[in-house]
Structures are given as C-alpha cells and as structure tokens.
Chains A and B, each alone.
Chain A
Amino acid sequence: MVNVDGVLVGIFTGAVYSLVAVTITLMYRSTGVLSFAHAAFAMLGAYLYTDFSVTYGWPAWSAAIVAVLATVVYGLVVERVVIRPVARAAPTVKLIATLAVLALTTGVVVLLFGSEPQRSPLLLPDRNVTIGSVSFSYQQFAIFLIAAAAAGGLGLFLRRTKFGTAVRAAAENQESARLMGVRIAQVARFNWALGALLASLAGILIAPLQVASAATFPLLEVQALTASLVGGLTSLPLSFVGGLVVGIVRSLITLHTTTAGAAELVTLVLLVLLLVVRRSWASSFEEGPAISPVPRPYWMDRWMSRIDEIRRRMVQRVVPARGSGAGNTIRGAARVVMVLVAVAVAVVVVVVPGTSEFWGFAGTTALVYVLESLSLVLLVGWGGQVSLMNGAYAGIGAFSTATLVQHSVPLPLAVLAAAVITMVVGAVAGIPALRLSGLQFAVASVAFAEAATSWLFLNPHLSGQLPRGHLFGIDLFESAHLYLVVLPCTVVCYVLVWNVRRSSFGSLLYKARDAPTTLAHFGVSPRRVRMSAFLLASFIAGLGGAFYGILLTSFQASDFDIQLGIALLLYSVVGGVESLAGPIIAGFLFGVLPQLIQGQSGTTSSAWPEVISGAVVVALVALRPQGLASLLPARRSRGSGLRGFAGSRTFHLGRFGAGAAEDRLSSHPITRAGQSIEPDSAAGVTSRSGEPAPAGSEPMGAAPDGEPAG
C-alpha cells in the first residue's frame, strides 16, 4: 500500500528534523535561546566534511569526526562571543544574535566553498535495509537511530544525573539556580557544545542524501522548529515525535500532489496551528521592545561610557549650550555648516547615481534597502515584532508587478497595485500574527517566508520577467533613470514614516509595544494600533520589492528566500532599528559599499554583505543594541515631542481633506481645570516656575524648546 510506504519514507526523512529539533528544544528549554545557529552548525559540519573528504581525500570517518569536533569548537566560540554577552537580554535579542551567527556562517561558508551545491560521500556503507516495499540506506537508518537515542538519552540524562538536574534548574530560574550553586556558564557551554555536535552530525548525515547548498540548512531549521513546537519547545520525546510527524506529513503530501511547495505550505499551516494550540510557551515572555538594552559586563560598560563621554564632549564643542553670546555665534556657524553639508549630500545623492549605470544600480539598490529597513523600523523597532518575512514581502511586490505588467497594466499602476497587494497579504498574515508575541511571531514569519518562496512564488501564473519600460516619459532602461524615479518615492515613504513617529500616533505605537494593557485601559485598542503600523510596513516593503523587481528585470523565487529576509532584518539592526537614521545607514552600508568594494567590474552577488552584517550584528548586539544610529549625536531625537505634536517638524504633504469637527477635544475639562490654576502655585504640588501657556491657543511649534530642568 502506498500510504504505508509514504509513512515509512516520512519517518526516515523526519528523523533528521527530529535530531535537530531535539537540540533546539533542549537549548530553548535550558537557556531560553531560540537558536537559528543550529542551521549554521549543520551547514558548517556538512561543508567541512565534504571539503575534508572530497578535496583532501580523507577517509569519510576521520573527515566526519574532525568536522564534528571543529563544529563543537565553533559552537563553544559562539556561546562565549555571541551568546554570553546577551544572556540577560530579551528573547528576541538572543534570536537576532543567533540569526547573525547564521548569516555570518553562511557568508563565510559561501566565500570559502562557493555557492555551488556540494556532493559528499556517504558516511556509512552504501547498503540498504528493506522494510516492506521501501528500501532505506544505512545512512537514513543511522539518522533515525541517532535521533531516537538523542531524544531518549538526553531525557534520561536530564532526569537522572546531577548535571541534568542543574540544567533543568537553570532552565526554570537562572538566578535561583545560580544561588543554589549551579554554574550557569557551564550549563550554557554544555548546551551549545551538544547543540553543535548533534546539528553538525545531522548536517553530515543528510548532506550526501541530497544536493546540499547553503540554502538547504535554513530550510532544515524551519522543519526542525515545527517539530520542536509539537513538543511545545519543552518536551524532548515530543520534539522527536514532532520531527517524524513533519516528515510523514511532507512525504504523504509529495506522494499525492505534484504542486511545488505544497509540503512547505502545509508546514506553515501546521506551524501556525501549533502556535495557536501551544500558546503556553509564549507566556514566559513579556511583551516589550524587540531591541532592549542589554546588561553589559562592567568592563564593557566602562568602555562604552567612555566613548559616550568623548562623543558628548565633541558635540558640546561643536554645539555649545545656548545662552552664551559666543555659543550662539558658533551655533549659527554650526548650523550653516550643517546646511552646507546637507546640500552637498543632497547633490551627491541626486547627481552621482545619474552619472553611470554602475552608480545608478548601486543607488537604486540602496534605496530598496532603505525602503525595506523603513518597513522593519515600523515592524521591529516600533512594533516590537521581529519579522523575517520582509524578503517574502519584497518578493510579493516584485512578482505582482511583473505579473501585472505582463497583463499589460501600466507600470506605475502595477507598482502601486503590487504594494497594495503586499499590504493585503500582510493583513491576512498579520491578523493572526498580532495575537502572537515576540519569538512566536518570529517563528511564524519564518514559516511564512519559507512557504512564500517554495510555494507562492513558484505559481506558474506568476511572471518573473519584468522588462523595463517607460515611466512618465522617462525610459527606465538605464538604472540611473530608474534611480531618479525611485528616489522621490523613497523620500515620500520616509516622510510618511517620519510623520507617524512625530504625530501623537507615534506615541500610541510605542505604548502598544511597551505597555499594551495600559493603552487598552485608556480606550485605545493596542491591536488596532499595531495593525495600522503592520499594514504600512507591508505596503512599504511591497513597494521596495516592486522597485527591486524593476531593477533586477528578471528574478526567481530563490531571489526572495528566507536568507533575504534574514539579511534585511540584520541590515536594519545594523543601521538601528528604532531610529529613522537607521534605514539610511543600512541602505548606504549594504547597498552602496559592497558595490564599491567589488569595484565596477565585479559580479553583482557576493557573500560579503552577509558576512559584514552578521559580524557587525554580533558586535552590536552586545555593545549597541540600538544599532549604529545610536552612535550619532543624539539630537534631542525625542526631546522635542511637543513640537512634533504641533506638526511644526512634520512635513505637510497637503492641506486637503477638510477637518472633522474638533469634537470633544475643545471642551476637554482639563482646560477648565488648567485655567483655574495659578501658575506659580501649580496645583500646590511643588512650586516650579513654569510659564503659563494659554491653553488651547498657542501653536506649540512657537513654544521654546523644553530645557531639561534640574
């Protein structure tokens, strides 16, 4: 019977997922880290093994042992260098750190071994075991046995041994475990070594069974994550079973349908269902900023505060405190210099990309990254949700544009429609996703990205060909011209997001992230606030994707895979995910710099951006979780909240839309209460000398800057 065979095949393919799932579960359970680094370990193990055995001709066994040992050492290094500095950070920060490890490892692996798929020799003799009418290789059998042994053995180890008890205690409550004499660092080291060991083993064992490339392993990770979720990220045996279930489901689907990516789609549905059913594991995470300050070791703190001090002095020297006459002159001079610099930058930004095809391409790429980072600032920085699906959103934008253009929709309309389509898809994905929090959302976004690449974008009705045409009489055949079209669109989006932040809606958004329950008590639905931001974010991401598609002219599903999603997230983290300066930094760093490094003749794709962004995030997560933007002089970025409210620093795009009645605001009782108060007795609480502003009349833009008192 076909189905029995399908189940059997599923069990043996699922065993790999089980093997990785068990380590992911153990890691999460005992250290609170939801690790994407496991994909990196599997990748590193597989590539080292292939390299040793194929290139150097070592015997398979010694190649495997050396590869596993090397990966274990790498795992320990990762623990020490990347994970320990963020040990007390929010779970999402740790997740980003492991993503950085994955990106860095992928980049280095691609640089060293190339991006071509690798073929590696079998580790075990090429013989088969036949069960029923299906035969399995020894290797597949071994994977199953190892996974089962790992699940069972680790379960016993955790229950029966003293160190196992310590691991479980550390999982429950690190602080009290520490007080009871458990050495937390040792537990973490054990976990990372074990995770690296099992993951690299899985990588080595599956590499010969399929054509492995760098993109294989994030996929493996997604399946393993789904399996872990079956076990609620706590139960090792259930994680093992979960891997088998995922394997069986996938194998049965591939037997019954030929639609590409159907298995990934079902995995996505399965994962979302599991997230809803198994909600309990999220309860241990508080909501909050995705990027929160990380408690740092003392020496690092001292070092960073020294840098801050130097920065503060430099700013003071350039912009002295107001009041002194000399200060005002210098202030004025500084302002002139700043205006000149701004003009120069503007000229460079507008003119240089127009000078050549090379610069036009680089500039447009940068703008696409600016748009994608802008979307992530809304989602991650202000919305507090780590999203890995921006790559997929960009893909939806690009494919929609191409398909619409193929159906002879005019290009500008197609671009706009593509952004709207992305927004609609974002809404569909977002409604359930907003119920999830932190890590859950991240996991769901991974599954979404995976399903988009391996199912949605492979739809035969979609077109990946987007010949550049004319737009408003400008021919887009030259990237330089394209740049001049994309630039104003980017600026408009930037201004829109700027306005969102500056308006009082911006503070609602922050509040929805940091204290949703409080917001609800004030009659504002935090979910609705977040949804609005989510929609705007997906619109911008789709728009960016549409431009990216026009830039590429021809693309395929794998151009928008999960690796793009990870890369985009890391780029914006590097730039600074809470700051509006972040997207610009990210756009320049990753759009323009790689092109500069490669020179005008180099190939267009390279692993360098991944390596750089991975490495920088690894450094930043520990030192500057707010990204590079936080290194800029803080120009009272939020200190001018009231002026922002008044709209004086928001940009006016139009005066259309006659206002609704000012309803209840003008009769707000606080004005009556406020007016009845003598300014100097100030409600009698404390006598602070505040100038009495006539309530309700004065535009705040004219009010003096709030000098911080005290």
Chain B
Amino acid sequence: MAPLLEVSEVTVSFGGVMANAHVTLAVTEGEVAALIGPNGAGKTTLFNVISGAQVATSGRVRFADQDVTSLAPVVRGRLGMARTFQNLSVVGSLTVAENVGVGFGRFRSAGMIASMLCLPRAVRQDRQLSSLTRAALRFVGLQDVENRRASELPYGDRRRLELARALAAAPRLLLLDEPSAGMDPAETADLATLLRRLPAEMGTTVLVVEHDMSFVRSLADRTTVLNFGEVIASGPTTDVLADAAVAEAYLGTRKERGSGAAG
C-alpha cells in the first residue's frame, strides 16, 4: 500500500539559504509520525510545503494517491488535509464554537443563499454542525466554554481549540505544528493520550512537528529528524531517539536527554 503522504526530494531555498534540502519522508495511513529537529532545522518550512502554504523549489508531494505538489491549500484541504498553526490563528472575535465551525467548512454544501433564506438544507446542516461542534469540543475538553469569545481563552485552551477545529475537518492527515507549546507537563501528557487515540477513533493519521522529546517519545510511532534542512535520521521513534547523531544535533555533546527542550 502506498503511504498516505509521500514527500520526495523536496528542496526549498530562500535566496541562498536552503531551508529544506532533498527531504524525503513518508507517512503511512493510521500512524502517528513526528518531525523533530533543533530550531531552524526547516521543520515548519517542510510543514508549509506539505500543506501548500509554501511552494517547493523542487521535489514532489503526494497525498492520498495524488500528486498535490502544485495544488492550492484549498484543494489540499478538500482532499482531507488539516493543520494547526505554530502561532495560533483562532479568530478572537468569534466564539469558541464558531471557530470550530470553520473547520467543518469543507462539509458544508449550503452556500450563502441557502443560509440567508434559511432553506431547510442550511438549517439542517447548521444543526448538524452545532452538534458536531459540541462533539469536537468535548473531545478536546472545551465543552464548557463554547460560547465564550476565543480571545478570552488562555493560551493552552486556544491551542486545544485549534486542535478541535482541525478535527472538525475530519482530516485523513492532521498536521500539528508544535501542539504542546505553552502547555505544562500534565497537559502535554494528556494531549499525547488524546492524539494517540485519533488514528483508531477518527481514522486520522497524524504528523506532528515538535520540540519536546518526551512528548514525542510517548506519542509517535515513527520519527524523522531534520537538521540544517536535511533528514539525519528516520525510523521507529525509540531507535531514532537512541541515535547518536540525533543526540548530538539536539544536545551537543552532552549525554543528557530530557524533557523540557521546548522553546
């Protein structure tokens, strides 16, 4: 079976700087994969290439048996790719529930005219959306704040809101950009448990960009390590984290590995 996501030989250069150099990566359906690397290793750039926010200088991206290299983010979203953002992009003036509702966008078939005239189709869809929204919020534990404005939420809850919104899109592939940033260790552990359940319960494959090594260890089946835009290791998480080159890239020469590497 072909992998769900296949990144082959992707190179991105900004002027003379190579953010990604011949990166090859594959994510199989149903797994939780992680992409790690020190600051400036090109993780977010690769993420943007996958989701379509950044055009690769060369190389190809295949998703769900289609070449998506030159497709716009909108099309990738419709194919079942969803992502969260490192610097949150929740709309503060909307309520928590309304923010999640945006995630269902690709399922809406009722346009503005139907909404405006309150055609039964639109009303039914909106009703369905609202119960699905509740389900999504319950899934991440935000069900009690659904009617508050997103701007009133603390940072960690906004991260969770982003996750709920991404789940609302029922993605085949969920791209998470540093989901644990700004969370305390207990919350991070909870998040890992939550994400582990996604493949089985929602049929969602997860690719996560992370800093926090203990989080990755408890979460990912497979891990790819980037350093200076190149893949330096890839494979089952435990093997990769034991790799000497990885330890060196992350921790210099000190033989000390631990959590709290997050920035």
Contacts and interface: CB of A to CB of B under 8 A. Distances in A.
Given A496-B117, A536-B112, A671 B132 contact: yes
Contacts of B146: 641-642, 706
B44 interface: no
Interface in A668-706: 668-677, 679, 682-686, 688-690, 692-693, 695-700, 705-706
A523 interface: yes
B246 to A, nearest CB: 30
A505 B141 contact: no
B228 interface: no
Contacts of B107: 663-665, 668
B93 A669 contact: no
Nearest to A697: B131
A269 to B, nearest CB: 29
A695 B133 CA distance: 9
B112 A684 contact: no
In this complex, the interface size class of chain B, counting residues with CB under 8 Å from chain A, is 35 or more
Interface in A485-515: 496-497, 499-500, 503-508, 510-511, 514-515
Interface string A107-145: 000000000000000000000000000000000000000
A685 B190 contact: yes
A638 B136 CA distance: 20
Interface in A630-685: 636, 638-642, 645-647, 650-660, 662-666, 668-677, 679, 682-685
Contact of A657 (B76, B121, B190): B121
Nearest to B120: A659
Contacts of A706: 144-148
A708 B145 contact: yes
Given A668-B170, A679-B138, A505 B72 contact: no
A598 to B, nearest CB: 37
B129 interface: yes
B156 to A, nearest CB: 9
Contacts of B169: 522-523
B112 A500 contact: yes
Contact of B117 (A510, A515, A653, A705): A653
Interface string B102-132: 1111111111111111111111111111111
A502 B78 CA distance: 24
A523 B75 CA distance: 6
Contacts of A673: 135, 139, 167, 197-198, 201-202
Contact of B104 (A504, A660, A674, A699): A504
A517 B72 CA distance: 11
Contacts of A653: 117-118
B68 interface: no
A525 interface: yes
Interface in B168-209: 168-170, 187, 190-191, 193-194, 197-198, 201-204
Contacts of B91: 507, 510-511, 514-515
Contact of A709 (B51, B131, B145): B145
B102 A696 contact: no
A674 B138 contact: yes
B124 A638 contact: no
A700 B108 contact: no
Nearest to A710: B145
Interface in A290-336: none
A344 interface: no
Given A536-B116, A668-B170, A700 B139 contact: no
A646 B130 contact: yes
Contacts of A708: 145, 147-148, 152
Contacts of A3: none
B116 A684 contact: no
A641 B147 contact: yes
B140 interface: yes
Contacts of A507: 91, 94, 98-99, 101-102
A670 B130 contact: no
Interface string A568-607: 0000000000000000000000000000000000000000
A289 B93 contact: yes
A174 B134 CA distance: 44
A647 B170 contact: no
A2 B168 CA distance: 68
A51 B201 CA distance: 80
Contact of B127 (A511, A517, A646, A709): A646
A696 B73 contact: no
A156 interface: no
Contacts of A659: 119-121, 124
A149 interface: no
B191 A685 contact: yes
A665 B129 contact: yes
29 contacts: A499-B115, A500-B115, A505-B116, A521-B82, A523-B169, A524-B74, A525-B74, A532-B112, A638-B93, A638-B149, A639-B149, A641-B98, A641-B101, A646-B123, A657-B121, A664-B170, A669-B201, A673-B198, A676-B201, A677-B138, A682-B138, A683-B138, A683-B139, A683-B141, A688-B141, A690-B138, A699-B127, A705-B147, A710-B145
Closest 5 CB pairs of A and B: A706-B147, A523-B77, A674-B135, A523-B106, A685-B141
